Structures are given as C-alpha cells and as structure tokens.
Structure 1
Amino acid sequence: MKPPDQSELESDSAVLSAAIRGLRRLRGYSSAEVAQGMNLALRTYQDFEAGRGRLNVDYIYRFCSFVDADPDAIFASLSIGSPDFAIRCSSNKLMSIVMIGVQQLNHQLGDRLAALEARTIVAAVNASVRDLVEKSAGGDEADWLKAGEEALRRARPKPGR
C-alpha cells in the first residue's frame, strides 16, 4: 500500500495518523503490542493511531518511548505537513537533537535570546543545514544525544494524572 501523497494529508490528524502508523510498521509492531506497551486499551490506541480525538502529547511521548522514535520529529512533522519526516528521523533523532540545542541556547542566553536578530538566526540555521547536507553522520554523538534526551525528559512537565 502506497502512503498518501502530501496533497492528500489535509489535516493534522491525517499527518499524525500516517506518522504513527508508519513508525509502528517500521518497528514491526502490531497495534495490540503498542497498545499494551503504552498501557492503553486497544481501542484507545486505535483511535490515537487513526488521529481521532484531540492531540494527546502524553500519548505521543509514550508511543515514542515504546517504539524508540523521536517525539519532537512527530511534532515537527505536524508543522511541516510531512509524516515521512517523523519516520525518517526515527533512528537519528534529528529533532530531539535540535531541541537539545534549543534548550541549551535558552539556558545559556536567557533573556538575551530575545535580542537575537532574525537575520542572525536564519544565517546560522542555513549554515547548519548546508553543513549537514555536505557531511555524513559519524562520531561520538550518541553520548551527547543520550544526555540531552534525559535533560529534555526531566524538563518536560509530567502528565496530570
């Protein structure tokens, strides 16, 4: 079955559904296995995967924890309208890495962050994108990523249950 064309995904729910379903299939899990791993009733998980109901941030984090995916990439996929982005980032954790950098920038600059000019930010982002396109991944990034993911997890508010 061919995934839907970008033009067919007209809602956040459709993008979320395609991303979740694609990630589950990529990892080789059944709906029942993921539901159990998320501690949800099967029907509740099926509704989540189908994009029914409100966006549930806690479910996205629980899902990603179980299938070892990048929750920040799912949120970004909604912003850019591409479920494939979340699937492509499932192994390298691109968006979690970006968010770790943003968290560090916020911590180091504090209120000075507001004084950064958009021109400076655009130039830095464009330079980083060009550099990533030109180079291949490799090295000891795994330790940096693991420590940064833990810092993001600690900073994230806990669900109100």
Structure 2
Amino acid sequence: MKNEQDEKNAALLSAAMRAIRLDRRLRTSEVARALDMPLRTYEHFEAGRGKMTYDKIVRFAQATNSDPVAILLTIPLKSPEFALRCADNKLMTILTIALGELNEELGNDIEFIEPGTLIGVFTRVVKDLTNHVANRDLFAETWLNEKSSKVDGARPAGARNWRFKP
C-alpha cells in the first residue's frame, strides 16, 4: 500500500506520462502494445496505480520517443510539464550523458569541485540557454516582419485579428 508521498509521486509521474502520450497523439492501446503489456495493466500503470519502475519508465520513453530522465525529474521538480517540455530535445538525457562523461573523466576528483563553482557554471548555462531561446525567437520575428512585405497578403509576425472574410 502506498503512503501519501508515494501517491503524490505516482500522480506526478502519471500526469507526465499522460501528457506525453496525448502530445504524441497515441492511444493507450498503442502504448500498451509497444510496452508488451495488457491494455488494462498499462492503463493502471499510466494512472499511477501500477508498479512504477525505472525499467518501465525507460520503456515508456522509448515507446513515446521522450526523455526518461525528465520523466523521473517530475518528482523532485513537482512539474509534470517539465517532462513534456523535454520530450523532444531530450534535455535531461543529454545532461545525464554529459555528467556521466564528467564522472568518467574526473572520477574521485569530482569531490574537489566546490559548490560555488557548480552554482556559477550551472547559472551561466541557464542564462546562456535562456538567451539563446530569446534571441532565436527575436530573430524569427524580426525576419518575418522585414520579409512579409514581399508576399502579397502576408502580415507581420505580431499582427492579430487576421481572418478570411468572404
């Protein structure tokens, strides 16, 4: 029997997996078949009532082409949306691979990396990624605004209330 915290964790994982499945436009029967599970067993699993194991989460991620590490991180982050946001770019799998390489490279010397250094490095990475996304979006919007006049009937990227009227 699950305690209250286990139920909360199962609900977070359940919400993440359901969001990913729906985003992928997959039916429960399709995912159940891909996981080689009876439909009802899969439905219990996705609802958070079945036994959650790392292996099952990895198999779900393979079946839905999503990020198993991001799914697991829905629990400490308390954000099922995080798993969906990382499903396509595999952010947490990539980070885990990079950390694995750091572990292989440094081995026991990892303990000599001071917390202040880690905070500084990861803060810079977060800022760099945030700036990258912001600049990418600005580039596309600027480009569309400048070029839309070349296409008859095109409107600038920020234009709204644009509907066909017969």
SS in 1 for 2:52: coil
1:21-60 mapped onto 2 (5 Å cutoff): 21-60=18-57
Q: Residues of 2 paired with 1:54 and 1:67: CA distance?
A: 19
Match of 1:124 in 2: 121
Q: Tell me how far 1:78 sits from its aligned partner.
A: 1.4
Look up the equivalent residue of 1:29 and give its one-letter code. Answer: L
TM-score, normalization: structure 1?
0.76
Q: Residues of 1 paired with 2:73 and 2:14: CA distance?
A: 14
Match of 1:150 in 2: none
Q: 1:120-159 CA distances to partner (integer Å, 9 max, x unpaired)?
A: 1111110100000001399xxxxxxxxxxxxxxxxxxxxx
SS in 1 for 2:73: helix
Q: Residues of 2 paired with 1:129 and 1:72: CA distance?
A: 18
- In the TM superposition, structure 1's runs of 4+ consecutive aligned residues that sit over 2 Å from their partners are none
Q: Residues of 2 paired with 1:66 and 1:54: CA distance?
A: 18
**Higher RCO (C-alpha under 8 Å, 6+ residues apart):** 1
Kept in 1: contact 2:12–2:75 (CA 8 A)? yes
Q: Tell me how far 1:100 sits from its aligned partner.
A: 1.0
Match of 1:94 in 2: 91
Match of 1:154 in 2: none
Which of 106, 114, 120 pairs up with 1:109?
A: 106
> Which of 14-23 and 49-58 deviates more?
49-58
Look up the equivalent residue of 1:47 and give its one-letter code. Answer: H
> Which of 50-59 and 75-84 deviates more?
50-59
Q: Tell me how far 1:107 sits from its aligned partner.
A: 0.6
Q: Tell me how far 1:35 sits from its aligned partner.
A: 0.2
Q: 1:92-113 CA distances to partner (integer Å, 9 max, x unpaired)?
A: 1111111011111101100000
Q: Residues of 2 paired with 1:11 and 1:130: CA distance?
A: 31
Q: Residues of 2 paired with 1:49 and 1:56: CA distance?
A: 12
Q: Tell me how far 1:14 sits from its aligned partner.
A: 0.8
Greater Rg over alpha carbons, structure: 2
Segments of 5+ residues of structure 2 without an aligned counterpart are 1-6, 137-166
TM-score, normalization: structure 2?
0.74
Q: Tell me how far 1:53 sits from its aligned partner.
A: 3.6
Q: 1:60-106 CA distances to partner (integer Å, 9 max, x unpaired)?
A: 11111011000010011111000000001111111111101111110
Q: Tell me how far 1:47 sits from its aligned partner.
A: 1.1
SS in 2 for 1:135: helix
